[in-house]
Amino acid sequence: MASTHGAAAQVLVASNRGPVSYTVGEDGSLHARRGGGGLVSGLSAIGPDAGALWVCSALSDGDREAVRRGVGEDGVRMLPVPADVHADAYNGIANSVLWFVHHLLYQTPLEPVFDAEFRRQWASYETYNRAFAEALAQEAAQGAAVLVQDYHLCLVPGMLRELRPDLRIGHFSHTPWAPVDYFGLLPGDIRVQLLRGMLGADRLGFLTRRWADAFAACCEEFTGGTGGTEIGVHGLGADADFLRARSRERDVEERLAALREEIGTAPEGGARKVIVRVDRTELSKNIVRGLLAYRQLLDDRPEWHERVVHVAFAYPSRQDLAVYRDYTAEVQRLAGEINERYGSAGWTPVVLHVKDDFARSLAAYRLADVALVNPIRDGMNLVAKEVPVVSDRGCALVLSREAGAYGELREDAITVNPYDVLETARALHEALTMAPEERAQRTKRLAAAATALPPARWFLDQLEALRGTRAS
Ligand code: G6P
């Protein structure tokens, strides 16, 4: 087949959300915005001449307009999947079924319901995955490495394998993987299709051993094993150099000053203690129980009144889904209730912001005395890894045992069962009262563990391992 594939791409990344998005201005002009994240910095590590191509989906109207006008960035190909197909695949299947299964989010007396509507959406998920497989098959050079990302694209490896047996195909899951009994909620044919789709890859990557083992257990149960597919664990770490430099820039300093204003000072005139959380408003992030735990702390320990502030950033996510909108509203309601009940003229117990602002997030990291990271379940959770790197005075980390980061950070974190609000309240108190010397020591070790595998290395390791899966 060698001569039939004249395409240039040697390394291909495929993901639903790409590294750039477009908006249409009032005058009809297109504006590009570049995103960040592990994959972006990972890919930049192989350099501009490596023949890399990122295949992603056109998500917004601006993205679709860019495709229509033939506008694009070098190294990025956006697929103009029809909006209704994309909505079924992304909102319907990826976010409402697969995300729920892997994060154990269903309220099972009423959901899930696998009915005719589900089957209709599933057909869109197949169509959407096929669009990726076909684009990748078209763009990949002979023997190229293809790195497929996440639960949106589980069927791509199998589909691509059929179209292009010459390729090295990898798939990486940035989420947890469901335990066998929970994955078993899915209809029998669907779970086999998902697993076989992924097993079409030469190599599958997970963030922790726990998620890799859960996947292998599902294969044991439902497909009779993982076949010849290799499974690897790559625990993405924080990007220390980038974070340290970025968090000292001017916009961060400005936000730091504004946040200090909002936090205010304790009655004795000293600084108030700051408990920080920064999340996208995901159902899995457990923001509501975090607020309940903080309320419990204020109930149990009046000595903290006027002396602590909970800075909570809950940035909008997946607002097409009613359950996300309701959850966002509950976060706001509860924060308001706590402020109503305990606040005073000079003290706002919860400073909640919902408008996404990366510079302000870094400012909050710098101020943190305590970081609260209490997800119900999380693939890794980079906030847990970033705060210890950035915090000015060192911070105590309250960390859920269900976060992927738990494996690497447990020894120096105060760990909690995310469902146990009383335990979390006690952990917050312990974190707030940790002696400065101990806090400094722990922060140093947390930062070292958190940065052990920076994004560039994380990406290159996967690429090397994938290239080593078969003899050339
Ligand atoms: C989180 C998960 C990723 C996932 C992403 C999708 O960050 O860790 O695994 O790809 O969400 O988010 P989106 O906003 O595109 O739905």
Q: Residues 234-258: pLDDT tens digits?
A: 999 999 999 999 999 999 999 999 9
Interval between CA 17 and ligand 1 midpoint (Å): 8
Q: Could you identify the atom of ligand 1 that is nearest to the CA of residue 16?
A: 15
Q: Model confidence over 65-109: pLDDT tens digits?
A: 999 999 988 899 999 999 999 999 999 999 999 999 999 999 999
Both 85 and 223 in a single domain? yes
Length of the chain: 472
Q: Is residue 394 part of a domain?
A: yes
Both 78 and 132 in a single domain? yes
Residue (of 218, 210, 199) closest to 176 by Cα position:
210
The pLDDT assigned to 5 comes to 57
Q: Which domain holds residue 305?
A: 240-450
Cβ of 317 less than 6 Å from ligand 1: yes
Q: Is residue 281 part of a domain?
A: yes
Both 291 and 398 in a single domain? yes
β-pairing, 203-206 vs 9-15, is unpaired
The pLDDT assigned to 3 comes to 39
Give the full edge-to-edge strand order of the sheet including 52-57: 76-79, 52-57, 9-15, 140-149, 168-172, 203-206, 230-233
Amino acid 143 reads G
Q: Could you identify the atom of ligand 1 that is nearest to the CA of residue 175?
A: 9
**Which of 150, 151, 382, 383 has most ligand 1 atoms within 8 Å of CB, for mutation?**
150
Range of lowest pLDDT (67-81, 167-181, 324-338, 458-472): 458-472
Cβ of 88 less than 6 Å from ligand 1: no
The pLDDT assigned to 4 comes to 47
Interval between CA 311 and ligand 1 midpoint (Å): 23
Interval between CA 66 and ligand 1 midpoint (Å): 23
Q: Model confidence over 178-212: pLDDT tens digits?
A: 999 999 999 999 999 999 999 999 999 999 999 99
Is the pLDDT score of 49 beyond 70? Answer: yes
Q: Model confidence over 424-446: pLDDT tens digits?
A: 999 999 999 999 999 999 999 99
Both 186 and 277 in a single domain? no
Cβ of 378 less than 6 Å from ligand 1: no
Cβ of 96 less than 6 Å from ligand 1: no
Helix or strand or coil: residue 394? coil
Is the pLDDT score of 284 beyond 60? Answer: yes
Is the pLDDT score of 170 beyond 60? Answer: yes
Radius of gyration of the chain (CA): 23
**Which of 13, 17, 86 has most ligand 1 atoms within 8 Å of CB, for mutation?**
17
- Number of domains present in the structure of the chain: 2
Q: Is residue 244 part of a domain?
A: yes
Which tops the pLDDT comparison, 46 or 16?
16
Q: Region 129-137: what's the mean pLDDT?
A: 98
Cβ of 196 less than 6 Å from ligand 1: no
Q: How far apart are the first and last CA of the chain?
A: 14
Both 221 and 368 in a single domain? no
Q: Is residue 158 part of a domain?
A: yes
The pLDDT assigned to 1 comes to 39
**Which of 16, 319, 324 has most ligand 1 atoms within 8 Å of CB, for mutation?**
16
Q: Could you identify the atom of ligand 1 that is nearest to the CA of residue 380?
A: 8
How far CA 289 is from CA of 66, 144, 328, in Å, comes to 41, 46, 13
Q: Is residue 368 part of a domain?
A: yes
Where residue 2 falls among pLDDT bands split at 50, 70, 90? very low
Is the pLDDT score of 391 beyond 90? Answer: yes
Both 257 and 392 in a single domain? yes
Q: Is residue 375 part of a domain?
A: yes
Percent of the chain with pLDDT over 90: 93
Cβ of 424 less than 6 Å from ligand 1: no
Q: Region 399-414: what's the mean pLDDT?
A: 98
Interval between CA 174 and ligand 1 midpoint (Å): 8
Q: Is residue 339 part of a domain?
A: yes
Q: Is residue 472 part of a domain?
A: no
Please spell the DSSP secondary structure of 49-99, one letter per residue.
TS-EEEEEE--SHHHHHHHHHT---TTEEEE---HHHHHIIIIIIIIIIIH
Q: For position 137, which CATH number holds? A: 3.40.50.2000
Interval between CA 317 and ligand 1 midpoint (Å): 9
